[in-house]
Structure 1
Amino acid sequence: NWAYLHSTNESAHAASDIDVELLSGASYDNVQDYMNFFGDRTLLSGGTISAHGDADGSVAIAAFTAWCKEVNLDTAVGRFFNYAGKAKQTLTDLSVNLIYSDYGDGTPQIVVATSPVTYGFQQDHILIGVVFRQGNAVHILQSDFLGIQGINRVLLHQIEHHGAHRGSGLVTSDGGSLALSITAGIIYAGLTRVITTVDGSTWSYWYYDESLGTPAWVEDTGVTTIQEYYDGAAGGKVALTKYGVHWVYVDYEGSHLHIVYGKG
């Protein structure tokens, strides 16, 4: 039972008193337990880092609201809290300074490290931002609120950084009689895992034809044998006289094979 109606005529219940669905004998059984395990430490608002007015290589950290564990344990209670901000924080010169909120046993404070592993895995610490100090100048990278829509941020990173890529399989070999044979494989598109179905039995050939009124990519569909052509650009598809290089691709779906003629 997740829901609890609270009004001026009813007393509030602690999250630890509100049960969730469970199998008999489960070690954890309430809303607080759920939040302790699945809540992501994060700032919720505020926390802007700015250069201090003295222009001496220090920074100011604005007030913020946040959620994190009381201590660095998987089973620790997570708590919301407010922090009033810090007027001036000194930094190490000519170094990357990672600025964190430290729950501090109930007295939140700002701490700074020059290595991400110092506090990066500490569940009672929250990354606020990263600052490189260069003498009296500071270069500030404000951290996103990573606990909010965290999985969507990971997905976006994967899509923007990697696009789609082969995980395994998709080995191409001679299928005999100028045909292809391609093994099953795994493609990752973002965080989506795709099991391929292409087998090399049929594909599309592509070449860029500059001889058209409007130069464009041309697709030959339903091809079943390696063709003796190359991409002649101005001349379009040109017959080979010696040998050709053909580039083999599979789409995100893992179900369509495409071959691009090499250029002459």
Structure 2
Amino acid sequence: MRFDAPRVVKFNAVRRGTCQLEVDGIDEPIDLAEGDCYLLTRPRSFTLRSDPETAPVDGGVVFARAEDGIARAGQGDDVFLIGGGFSFGTRAQELLLDRLPPIVHVPADTPHAETVQWALTAIDQELTHRPMASTLIAEHLAVIMLVHVLRLHLERAPHAVSGWLAGLADPVVATALTCLHRDPARSWTVADLADTAAVSRSTLAARFKATVGQGPLEYLTRWRIELAARQLREGNATLASIAHSVGYGSESALSVAFKRVLGMPPGDYRKHPTMP
């Protein structure tokens, strides 16, 4: 089955049988075995096939005929997959996924993959038997699965990822990130953060830059602006109170930083929060 580029972060897991995954822009197909799962972190067309010679059918047409959430292609029942997608806002996409590879493949025999399999089995049961609140439970289980897939990817390829996610895999950088996230309004210095991580300022600065891609104070600025932007999108707080809550002493200080990071003043962003 051939699928158009998904608008969400697509995941599929093979519950029975085997198949191949082909993703536009990826040279080699990926063999998927029972228990394997994958994430498509980019909007790319992809094909799931039984063998290289079989002509694909339009997956959209097949899924348009789905009954009770189950779509069938062909006459056999030798391969069964469960799938779905995760939706992220633009800023969350940048923070979490933009530095990941286009596809994250988690084989069934990956160490510590048992939790992913447990979550998938539980999702399968919820969607098959439909007990009370099954959709809600399945959604939360899917988030658990996503977190564990990302954890496993970091364990397998800690140097293949950069940005915030890579920082969590470095104990020194993770300590500094925890401090910045826990108390973003504090007037942090590199020396303060280095003390919390029990390393020198130069060590912290170098490791933070190498993993996250920016310095600790630059990251703090962007994190503060992210928090301010969320308040502007979701509430009616005054600009002065928002500025104070994220560590700026005045509206003008927040406005200058906000425009530098997002390219527009806070007032314009509140009116058009999807523009960046």
TM-score by length of 1: 0.23
Rg larger in structure: 1
From the two aligned structures, give the one with the greater strand fraction. 1
